Amino acid sequence: DVPELRALIGEVAVEQLERSRSDDPRGVSAALRVCFTRLLKSEKKFFVDQLNMLVKRISQEAAEGKDTSGSNGDLLLRLHSQYPGDIGCFTIYFLNVVRLEPGEAMFLGANEPHAYLHGDCVEIMACSDNTVRAGLTPKFMDVLTLCEMLNYTPAPSSSKIFPAVQSQLDPNVYLYDPPVPDFTVMRIEIPASIKLYLISAMDSASILLVIQGTAVGTSTAAASEMSLHRGSVLFISANESISLHLSSPDGMLLFRACCLL
């Protein structure tokens, strides 16, 4: 539906994608791989010309009051203003646009392309030895490695989003437990009515991030008290607990990254 993108990918690849059927996931994945690879391997002058044509067309349609949502017009113009002439502006047509509401989380598996656009979030990553970029960056792009490694299996954004579950052991703790054993995130909401709170010991090490509130912490492992406020980060070793003496009238909001053994 985007003629400038169609020109970059080429009619053969486009027809292969149009012939792929939803009941043949391998065929769809293979067609997406061909289309995405053709896009990223486009000659720079050619894709810059097509991008400029696309931006000009969308800008004119927006000025005329036309609906450009079918071409992700608002997002395209915003990204192009931030990264003019970047081929990543075209990758939005291969991805789902996801808006997370406060309290929601999403899980992305290995080799799944993603782009963080705006807003504040807590991001947890498993140990990784690579970062391969697909655009919207001034940094190096390893196109060959990228096109080979990506997972081209299509899925709705709803399949990636999951809610927090309130802990049965502590009503102040909400668990974000993704479908991998590598890590779990805890959201700890301590109301103002609680002046002394215990960060429980765990079998694994963890990292604690303070988002809101102030407290003085005492640890079973540390020799001295710790002053905690917005932006404070603590490393908590395995089998270590921390007592928080709250001094904030609004309570505290903490996030804890850990591994549930």
Is there a single domain that holds both residue 156 and residue 197?
A: no
User: In this predicted structure, what is the pLDDT of residue 50?
Assistant: 97
| Residues 91 and 155 both lie in one domain | yes
> Are 101 and 9 contained in the same domain?
yes
- 171 lies in the same domain as 150: no
Query: Do both 101 and 85 map to the same domain?
Result: yes
CATH code: domain of residue 89: 1.10.441.10
**pLDDT tens string 155-173:** 898 999 988 999 999 999 9
| 57 and 11 in a common domain | yes
Among candidate residues 133, 187, 230, 256, the one labeled active-site is: 133
Domain boundary among 128, 146, 161: 161
Q: Give the model's pLDDT for residue 243.
A: 96
Phi/psi at 239 (nearest 5 deg)?
65, 20
User: Mean pLDDT in runs of 10 for the chain (261 residues)?
Assistant: 95 93 88 95 95 97 95 95 94 92 91 89 84 86 91 90 93 94 95 96 95 94 89 95 94 95 77
Same domain, 194 and 177: yes
Judge if 140 and 240 occupy the same domain: no
176: which 2 tokens? 């974000």
Domain boundary among 127, 161, 195: 161
Same domain? For 123 and 173 the reply is no
Written as one string, the DSSP assignment of the chain is --HHHHHHH-HHHHHHHHH--TT-HHHHHHHHHHHHHHHHTS-HHHHHHHHHHHHHHHHHHHHTT---GGGTHHHHHHHHHHSTT-GGGGGGGGS----PPTT-EE---TT------SS---------S-----SSSSS---HHHHHHH-------GGGTEE--EE-SS-TTEEEE--SSSS-EEEEEEE-TT-SEEEE---SS-EEEEEEE--EEEEESS-SS-EEE-TT-EEEE-TT--EEEEE--TT-EEEEEEE---
Judgement on whether residues 152 and 240 belong to the same structural domain of the protein = no
Specify whether 169 is located in the same domain as 157: no
Last residue of a domain, one of 126, 161, 196: 161
Q: Phi/psi class of residue 180: alpha, beta or left (left: φ > 0; alpha: ψ in -120 to 50)?
A: beta
The CATH number of whichever domain residue 215 belongs to comes to: 2.60.120.10
Instruction: Decide if 133 is catalytic.
Output: yes
The answer to whether the beta carbons of residues 71 and 2 sit under 8 Å apart is: yes
Domain count, the chain: 2
* Domain boundaries, position 196: 165-258
